[in-house]
Structures are given as structure tokens and as C-alpha cells.
Amino acid sequence: MKRLLPLLLAFSALSISSLATRPNIILIMVDDMGWSDIGCYGGEVQTPNLDRLAGEGMRFTQFYNNAKCTTTRASIVTGLWPRRDGDLLKTNMVTLGEVLGDAGYATALSGKWHLGHSDTTHPYQRGFQEYYGLLDGCCNFFNPAQPDPEYKGGRTRVFGHNDERVTSFPDDYYSTDAFTDHAIETITRSVNENRDRPFFHHITYTAPHYPLHAKPEDIAKYKGKFMMGWEKMREQRYQRQIKMGLIDSKRYKLSDEDSRAYPWETADKEFEDHRMAVYAAMVDSVDQNIGRLMQTLKELKVDDNTLICFLSDNGGCTEEPGGRDPNERHAGPGDDYVAVGPAWGWAQNTPFRRYKQWLHEGGSNTPMIAWWPGQIKADTITDQPGHIIDFMATFIELAETEYPESHNGETILPLEGKSLLPIFKGEKRPDQEYYAWEWSGNRAYRVGNMKAVWDKLVKRWELYDLASDRTETNDLARTQPETTQRLAKAWHAWAGMTNVKIKD
């Protein structure tokens, strides 16, 4: 026994060391933010903390979401294409919280969930050991208990902390700050309780999703900054993107005007400038809160062993609940639900076409930043494609665990994403076999660099070669009908597998 004791102690120390060296993981997702809104992707908004993460980490130029809130959230937590029959989160799926929790991580979620709150869909019941946030899709930022306006349905939104409902909020409440407060408190408590236990924290800000609610001091920074209008803003962002080396002008031509946008000359310019200023203030607030989070990691001395990934759930949003009357609509205060509208929402995705719900690149492409000190080379830009379904495989590899075949006695759907770690390491990884999307009649299917797109307003398949035409300005469907039909047929097979209801 005396001879075995040193070996046992050595083995124990090795196990603890292995546990401690597994990285902490923070996955941050914002809501309805466009591809070009933050500084390191060409935007005007002051985002020094996100710019720092980009400067010390990696930016992706071809990272995909599902172009819509709910389907994106289902895929990001399961590593699967969304299954569209019944609940998006099913019992034959496992979540990041469940897999990483079983691997010994402290798991938590702060912010928006939007995948249900039944016994089988509530985040607290699906592996997130600590939860605080919005179980619904959107709410008042200053008082989430305030019902929606009648033109938005008059609903009272559902907020929760773990398995309890939250119905009252302090006078100085602002949800972006509150979500960060919860994340900081949870991470701090976890580290102080057990430094050797890694943590996984998913932070899902509702900003900058409408209603456009921001603090007066943040709005003041941007008042008058958008009087150039959306056409000029697109041109300016495009030139900045080229200058910073994010894109090149040959492959990325600035896409044409959008059919749902309207001329700046016909707009109420003060109203338009103000609502975009409030939107910018909301993004600015997110960046401030990310700075608070980064400072906490530094003070806890865990920043050098933490991976942070930042992205948006879809492209800029062109929805406009309640209309656009400048005499009656007021962005900023807590009693209205103003949104940026179709022209700004389109321009936020510079240089791409379309926006949220559409499946051209403007709808499904997200800025994605990965920061991991000592592991990801600083100030790198990758053109390799990635997708939100890849996070599960990536985090499983980091956690040194395996994707389960069954969970709670039920057989689990096979994992469909692939690890991003080769890309993080600067290596070339094999491409996904395909990428596929559908929402509200819009469709797309990509194999290699060839992408077929069905726009519900155009009502026919288009074809683009993203190797030479990333902004989808040259439709090849008529000159390459066989490729178009091959991808369209493959999309229909995928739609059948994922239970998409097809309406032609």
C-alpha cells in the first residue's frame, strides 16, 4: 500500500490538473444585430471591448446562423439542424448545458431563451444549473413586466430565475446590465467555490432587438451620427471593411439596393437618425457590459484560460411593428416598441443582400469573434465557413468528453456539427458536407462554394458561386441549371429530414 500511495497521489494530481486546464467557455449571442454593426466589422458604433477581442483573437467572415431567432437558438444549444415539428427542443436532443454539466462544468445561462418553459424545454430543466432571463422572444428593456403595446399583441412576457417566475423589477433596471450582473455573479461564485471546476456560461442579450430602448447618455453619443442615411452608411462601412482587410472588393462587391428599402430623400431624417442612434446605443451598451465581464475574468485570474465566442442570432431586422409614423412613434423610452425598419435593417448587413428571415448572406451570416489567449493567434481573420451547429462539437472536444448516444433513457439524434478547433489553431478543417436553411418560405442550400437560394418574393431558385461572388450579385441559375436543380433537390431531401412544411 505504501508503494501504491505515491502513484495514487500522482494520478489524483494529474486528474485535478487535467480538470483545471480544460478551458472555461463563454458563449455570447446578441439579438438581431447586423453583420457590419460593430467596429471590427466596419460599423460606426463604439465597441472597444469587442474590437479588443477581435484584435487579440480571430474574426470569421463566413460564419452562419439560421437567420431567425428560435431556430438559431435551437441549433446553437443542440448542435443539430432545427427539427420543425413540435417543440424545437425535444427530448431526443441534448443541450450544451446537459453535455458540459455531465462533463463536470458549472453551467449557466443569462438572458433570452425563447425555446419554451415546460418541464422538457425550460433551461433550468435542460442542463443549465443556474438561469436568469427572458423565456420569451422580446420585452421592455426597462420593465420586462410591462405588457406589450396592443399593436404587438398586449402580451405580458415571461421572465424567470431558475425554476421561479420573476414579476417585479427595480426602478433602475435595464436588461442588458441585469443579464451581465447575473453572469458576473454566477461566474464569480463558481470560481470562488472551486477554481478547479471549469465553467460554461451562455450569455444571450436581447439587445439590439426591438423595442429600441437605451439609456439617454448612450443615445446622446449617436444623435446626429446617422444623418448620412442608409445608402451612404453602406458605402462608408464597405470602404472601412476593405481598408481593414476584412473583405476584398473583387469577391465582395457592394450588393444592389433592396426591394423593401426606401429612398433616404423621402424619409423623415430626424426620426430615422434618432431610431438608428438608439439602436447604436443598445449595441454600445452590450459592449460596455462585455468590458465589465472581461474585467471580472481578469480579477478572478481566469482570463488566460477562457474561450469567448461572440456572435448574433441572425442578420439585421427589418420588422416594423406598429408602423413608422414619426409623429406617434418614439424610440428610446420604455413605453413604445419602435424598430429600425427595413432600410436600416438592410444596411446593417453591409455588404450583403437581405436580412433576418431571408437566406441570402445578409440574413444568415453573422460576425463571429473567437478569443482564447495563447491558443488563438491574435488579429487573425479566417475565411473558412463555420456554423452555429459546430459549437457543440467544439465544446465537447474542449471538455474532453463525448457526445452521448442516449440521455434519460432516450436515444439521442446524432451530432451534426463539426469542431471548430482546427480553425482556431490556424489549420484547415474539412468542410461541412452541406449547409441548409429554411424560414417562412425562404430557403437555401450550400455545398462547397455553390449556394442555391429561394427568395419568397422572387419565387424561383437562384444560384451563386460564393468563391467569386460572396455578396450574391451574379445569379448563375440560368447558365448552370443542372447545378441549381441538384442543390434544390438536396434541399427538399433535407427539408423532409427536418420536417419543414413546404409551401410552393
Residues 327-373 have pLDDT tens digits of: 888 899 888 899 999 999 999 999 999 999 999 999 999 999 999 99
Asked if 440 and 66 count as a contact pair (C-beta separation under 8 A), the reply is no
Q: CA distances (Å), 374 to each of 26, 56, 303, in order?
A: 16, 10, 11
Lowest mean pLDDT across 9-23, 242-256, 349-363, 470-484: 9-23
In the chain, the percentage of residues whose pLDDT exceeds 90 is 92
Q: Residue 130: its pLDDT value, please?
A: 98
The number of C-alpha atoms within 13 Å of 370 and in the hemisphere containing its C-beta is: 24
> What average pLDDT does range 68-75 have in this prediction?
98
Residues 307-333 have pLDDT tens digits of: 999 999 999 999 999 999 998 888 998
- CA geometry: angle 207, 209, 214, nearest 5 deg: 55
Q: CA distances (Å), 251 to each of 107, 176, 189, 248, 469, in order?
A: 41, 37, 48, 6, 5
pLDDT of 18 over the 50 cut? no
Which residue in this structure is represented by grid cell 427595480? Answer: 170
* Region of residue 212 (phi > 0: left; psi between -120 and 50: alpha; otherwise: beta): beta
In single-letter form, the type of residue at position 169 comes to F
> What average pLDDT does range 41-57 have in this prediction?
98
- The 8-class DSSP code of residue 253 comes to P
CA distance 284 to 223: 13
Residue 454's SS3 state is strand
Please, where are the H alpha helices in 79-158? 96-102
- The 8-class DSSP code of residue 123 comes to G
Q: CA distances (Å), 363 to each of 64, 439, 442, 455, in order?
A: 9, 10, 10, 11
Residues 6+ apart with CB under 8 A from 284: 45, 46, 47, 214, 218, 221, 222
CA distance 379 to 456: 39
Helices (H) and strands (E) in the chain, counts: 13, 17
The torsion defined by the Cα of 393, 399, 403 and 409, in degrees rounded to 10, comes to -140
CA distance 11 to 22: 17
Q: Residue 11: its pLDDT value, please?
A: 38
pLDDT of 399 over the 70 cut? yes
For 449-479, b/e burial (b = at least 16 CB within 10 A) is ebbbbbbeeeeebbbbbbeebbbbeebbbee
In single-letter form, the type of residue at position 244 comes to M
Maximum Cα–Cα distance across the chain: 87
Please, where are the H alpha helices in 410-452? 421-424
- CA geometry: angle 275, 237, 41, nearest 5 deg: 95
CA distance 122 to 30: 20
In the chain, the percentage of residues whose pLDDT exceeds 70 is 96
Distance between start and end Cα atoms, the chain: 74
pLDDT of 31 over the 90 cut? yes
Q: Residue 172: its pLDDT value, please?
A: 96
Backbone dihedral angles phi then psi of residue 410, each to the nearest 5 degrees: -115, 140
Residues 207-247 have pLDDT tens digits of: 999 999 999 999 999 999 999 999 999 999 999 999 999 99
CA distance 182 to 393: 27
User: H-helix or E-strand containing 487?
Assistant: helix 481-497
Please name each of the domains of the chain with its CATH number. Answer: 22-430 (3.40.720.10), 433-504 (3.30.1120.10)
* pTM of the shown model: 0.95
Beta strands 24-30 and 58-64, pairing class: unpaired
Mean pLDDT over the full length of the chain: 94
CA distance 132 to 109: 7
Q: Residue 2: its pLDDT value, please?
A: 40
Asked if 317 and 339 count as a contact pair (C-beta separation under 8 A), the reply is yes
Asked if 29 and 76 count as a contact pair (C-beta separation under 8 A), the reply is yes
pLDDT of 468 over the 90 cut? yes
The torsion defined by the Cα of 348, 288, 390 and 454, in degrees rounded to 10, comes to -10
